[in-house]
Amino acid sequence: MQVFPTAEHSRFSHSLGTYEIARYIIETVDTVKNALSEEEQVTLLCAALLHDVGHGPFSHAFELIHPIHHEEYTCKIILEDSEVNQVLKQISPDFPSKVASVINKTHPNGILSQLISSQIDADRIDYLLRDAFFTGTPYGYIDVKRLIRIMSVKDNQIVFKESGIANLENFVMGRYHMYRTVYYHPASTCYEVIVTNLINRFFELLATGYKFKGDYCLLLPFGSRKSISAAEYTDLDEYSIYYYARLMSREDDPILKDLSIRFLNRKLLKTVLVKNALEANYYKDLVIKEGYNPSYYFYSVKPNQIIYKNYGMNDKANINILMRDGSIKELSEVSAIMAALINADLSSRDDTIVIYI
């Protein structure tokens, strides 16, 4: 949202959206509805609503620092003594564990997990649409109603009708373009690097017994790296990180101060696109020569372009096509363009993003 100023939609609205997509699938696709018991339908809707509840602040950045699997925390929040847990228990004592089993993919009816976390699911559909709308890019503009209308269930798994292959291609290409133009936008990457390094620096100083002026009560538990309770975890939201960044901008440590001011005032580091690791190293050397610590002021990444995969014969994670003759094939077996996308070494021509002082 620092790069696309209008892209400020929260995880909250994404959760509502994922719920609505899941609800619409059940309402519209009879084969899905019939493949789920009434309890499973409610379980699916709750899992859709809660699937991201365990995400930390600036989640990708944060996961780099604190070894937390967000799905694990999602389950923790659902299962531990939280408000969420209390509401779910009103359905039945074991309802929270049923919802959690969709998140960690152990629910006996595999269709539930497929609808929440597979290669085309309520989660991915919502965030493609949402990101496209709020960033104003045309790449994720898909015909969601038709995409859902071609869904079906066959052999106890989600399949898509052959007549809708173009919709599936469009969905995958939309994701491909969103990754390249939005998620891997150099400025977005740079902003993530700054947050990550800022918090890293804070924990570094904490570990060495640095005397901070400010009170960072909600962040401290994460520094000591012991086990974090669900409550501690949810208390530390992005608002807290912003607030702490403001306190950090008043500390004396020059790196903490500099990175926090960059974070608060959108003062990005420089970014450049290079062709390979060798060229990237040139910038690392430059950072060192200028007297900066490359742990905080240098970063390079080659965008990861794998956004769709054929996992091989009969894998549940595949995008499966229900052919007119009743057989099931994997998408790339029937779409030439998807086969091309899979087989091409997409990254071969892509640039490496370098962030440096």
Task: State CA 10 to chain mean position distance.
Answer: 12
Residues in region 304-323 near a second copy by CB under 8 A: none
- In terms of Cβ atoms closer than 10 Å to its own Cβ (0-12, 13-18, 19+), residue 299 is buried
How many helices (H) and strands (E) in the chain? Answer: 20, 7
- Nearest alpha carbon to residue 63 among 199, 188, 159: 199
Among 97, 104, 137, 229, indicate the residue that binds a second copy (CB under 8 A). 137
In degrees rounded to 5, what are phi and psi of residue 327? -80, 165
Binding segment for a second copy among 12-20, 58-66, 88-96, 289-297 (CB under 8 A)? 12-20
* Binder among 204, 235, 253, 279 for a second copy (CB under 8 A): 235
For a second copy, the closer CB: 63 or 235: 235
In the complex with a second copy, the residue whose CB is nearer, 63 or 350, is 350
Is the backbone of residue 335 left (phi > 0), alpha (psi -120 to 50) or beta?
beta
Closest CB to a second copy among 42 and 144?
144
- Is 103 a binding residue for a second copy by CB under 8 A? The answer is no
Residues 6+ apart with CB under 8 A from 40: 109, 112
Distances in Å between the Cα of 100 and the Cα atoms of 22, 39, 85, 141, 290 are 16, 14, 10, 31, 50
Q: Which of 42, 206, 339, 357 binds a second copy (CB under 8 A)?
A: 339
Residue 330: strand, helix, or coil: strand
Q: How far is the CB of 109 from a second copy (least distance, A)?
A: 29
Beta carbon of residue 110, minimum distance to a second copy (angstroms, whole number):
28
Q: Counting contacts by CB under 8 A, is residue 5 touching a second copy? A: yes
Long-range contacts of 60-69 (CB under 8 A, 24+ apart): 60/192, 61/192, 61/195, 61/196, 61/199, 62/199, 64/196, 65/196, 65/199, 65/200, 65/203, 65/222, 66/222, 66/225, 66/228, 68/228, 68/233
Interface pick for a second copy out of 139, 263, 283, 356 (rule CB under 8 A): 139
Is residue 337 at the binding interface for a second copy, with CB under 8 A as the rule? yes
Of 28, 246, 293, 327, which lies in the binding site for a second copy, with binding defined by CB under 8 A?
246
Residue 116 Cβ vs a second copy, minimum distance, rounded to whole Å:
20
Residue with tokens 């929440």: 116
Distance of CA 142 to the CA centre of its chain: 19
Q: Are 46 and 175 in contact (CB under 8 A)?
A: no
Of 9-17, 116-124, 191-199, 296-304: span binding a second copy (CB under 8 A): 9-17
- Chain positions 41 to 80 lying near a second copy, rule: CB under 8 A, are none
**Residue in 59, 104, 240, 281 binding a second copy, rule: CB under 8 A:** 240
Taking contact as CB under 8 A, which single stretch among the options 8-16, 43-51, 66-74, 97-105 is the one that binds a second copy?
A: 8-16
Distances (CA, A) of 228 to 99, 197, 221, 231, 250: 22, 21, 7, 8, 28
Residue 50 near residue 70 (C-beta atoms within 8 A): no
Residue from 63, 80, 237, 279 binding a second copy (CB under 8 A): 237
Stretch of 84-92, 153-161, 276-284, 340-348 contacting a second copy, by CB under 8 A: 340-348
The verdict on 180 binding a second copy (CB under 8 A) reads: yes
Any contact of residue 166 with a second copy (CB under 8 A)? yes
Query: In whole angstroms, how close is the CB of 5 to a second copy at the nearest point?
Result: 4
Chain contacts with a second copy (rule: CB under 8 A): 5-6, 8-10, 12-13, 16, 83, 134, 137-139, 141-143, 166, 169-170, 173, 176-177, 180-181, 214-215, 217-218, 235, 237-240, 242-243, 246, 265, 273, 324, 334-337, 339-341, 343-350
